[in-house]
Structure 1
């Protein structure tokens, strides 16, 4: 095979720039103004412009994380930014508002910081704790995944606070990323991970002509529930906490989105919830946007991402489920893109992207709004 993808990625010449976008001026009680909700963006572009693919990639990180997740893995190896640059993609990496290099604003509510023990249990050393049936097979984290190991320590050091109000966070990220899409001005492939998973759907909802496709890496879920580090009420809009467009319209999600329990097909899976109606409401602005949901075999998401996919399909979305074990990629957890075999996973996603590239459901001249 010659050079590995990682070695090739290291050699990809590219241009780099950074900027801030979005936000609004807010007046305080003294009558002074501060900018809130702005977002840091890093733009990476292959130097060989003749080889750049037509659709840029936008990467949106998960909870307590930042855009560093895509740049360098905690073991020091190049991340997905390097891999996809090597494939000819132009990239936009963001720190969601109130996170990392996107300033936090006093007065927006309580913040969350997860202890190292929780990160070990859920992300890096889940095979030690076996909190879900698939956890025992987690083998792809580099090192022991516990405090004191240098890879874990670097990973935990890169974590940041996040605001507790997820609807507020999603709304702020939607607004800032929408401003970014408008600035880019042509269709973009949007990646979202975990708590950042609703953002691509929210972007597709308000800018369907600017979202070419969505790669959803173990998105927040399952629908109307939340299984993760902390137990909180589930997403009232099914796939998001912030409002999203349905047809017929949803005024009160609790009243309008009646649900029913769907039994899981196997004992190692969790039951899920779909819309109860025989004529379910449709996510009309997402119907023409292909979605790839990627699930790792050792993650806690392996229990319930099946229901997220079924919910999307029920709502009229063209959703494909890539279960990594189905393509003989084994041992990965929720942070699959920083694990030892991350380039293998990226290569499988790349296959799907290439397939979608020939499907011109969206063109640069298509309307940018609904």
Structure 2
């Protein structure tokens, strides 16, 4: 009997109570529930989120991106430990939409952030290995709701630093931080204009290792940012030197992030950004749900293979094939 109780699926009441009390095991089970694509589990997940939503929205959501090899894990652990020492409860979410195909690097984040992951006031969670950008976006946004309802003060959302994941993460955070390395001359060639437009700050990491290149790198990053139009009339993205390894510059960096929060709150942009994010979430969920429904349609499943063969053989155009499939779907 005791064994049955241990493995019994917790009720919604138990999950709500566990999350609100900060029970890490129950927080983990709540997140696993909302990550599930099972329609049966989704009904329960909707109920859970509805009950937790009134307790969410208070955390400082910070997105962190950076080029491969920039030292994100070391930086995030140092930042997280500093915030914990300041009395905050910190959660880290690692977003990797490619993880379903390659296994990604995120599964190593808990081992790379050993000190932070073992701290009572911290919680680290990799993204689901669905390999589907929309699925990862949905799960990450809803995980933030759970973590905020559990009382975490700061949620750090890490992204892999390539592709669409930057835009996805910037649409769910209050502040978007881009980590770069010194040696800007070469790196600026590979920086997409899009990621600079998203950045609320560029932090030049490993400042302790590349002291000679640091000043030049900061000048070049500042010049690159000056070409861009600021997203806010009240904020120009600063460029700051930091070291995740030694902790150099982390206090100043966090002070700037808190200043951004104050300025955005006073101007009303904070609430406006959160409102726009909810609307973006709504639209993305509609698109995600429609796509899921489309591919689960028996009529579409029966016609899809033949339609694909016609397109491959050149017997019909892609636009005609899509129009025919949509006609079937609406029937």
State TM-score, norm by structure 1: 0.37
Whichever structure has more helix as a proportion of its residues is 2
